[in-house]
Amino acid sequence: MAILVDRSTRLVVQGLTGSEGRFHGLRNRSHGTDVVAGVTPGKGGQDVDGIPVFDTVAAAVEETEANTAMVFVPAPFAADAIYEAIDAGVGPIVCITEGVPAHEMLHIHAYVHVRGVAMIGPNCPGVLSPGKANVGIIPAEIFREGSVGLVSRSGTLTYQIGHELAQLGLGNSTIVGIGGDPVVGSSFVDVLARFESDPQTEQVVLIGEIGGEEEEKAAAFIESEMTKPVVAYIAGFTAPPGKTMGHAGAIISGSAGTAQAKKEALEARGVKVGTTPTETAELVAALVRA
């Protein structure tokens, strides 16, 4: 099995006719994802390399039974695209778009959670279940199928640690990039709970970074709710206070949100924390061999 996306995924790409949506939509299809539709208002009736395009998500769902959405809509219109997908009964929703205003995401966060819809992003690399489905911009060719679940705020570190695991002969059940914005659709805790319930996942890697308190919340959840071993990596030990580093959510406020504080919170709950991506992968390998 896997979480969020698998062989039953029927993907509709919102923004498929744009350059980025087309590139990654077709790339997802080449990695085995069943891309059944695209949506661009005013371009219904066209197609992109054989994938039919519709004016609305509702029309795409009615015609193709799409059950998962990927949002490649420009930031000023991304919130409307997300609401449209939710109202059409689609879920999960993976929003790749960067620059969605935080106040709009606050409303979306409440909207999806009260309806029980899983959302990943915005400003994220997406979700990959190797050998099953790829929804996003994750380079599937560097990952292998296996038993390690991976959840991350960082896209690039996701790729690096996943590749390090593959070089050690290990594979992933699902890779989830939750996004680096201050407000995202799913938290570490949301994804960890899914991994805990997934029969394929036997170990979990959590990749965090400075800013916010999501890693501390994850540490408390791991201690009280998880039976599967978790290894972590925290980026940003050398980040200067008060500076945004890479992601909108990666900013330290006073003494809160530092890499050291997050590391200590995780280690206090028995989570081993790697000091480099390579060491993190090696810690996972040691768990698998144990």
The residues annotated with a catalytic role in the active site are 247
d(CA 158, CA 143) in angstroms, rounded, equals 10
Residue 171: which of 130, 141, 128 has the closest Cα? 130
Amino acid at 66: A
Hey, is 283 helix, strand or coil? helix
Contact call for residues 54 and 44 (beta carbons, < 8 A): yes
Cα dihedral value 128, 141, 151, 36, nearest 10: -10
Spatial contact of 266 and 231, defined as CB atoms under 8 Å apart? no
Q: Could you tell me the sign of the dihedral formed by the alpha carbons of 211, 217, 218, 223, in that order?
A: positive
Q: Any residues with CB less than 8 A from the CB of 287 and at least 6 apart, and which?
A: 203, 229, 231
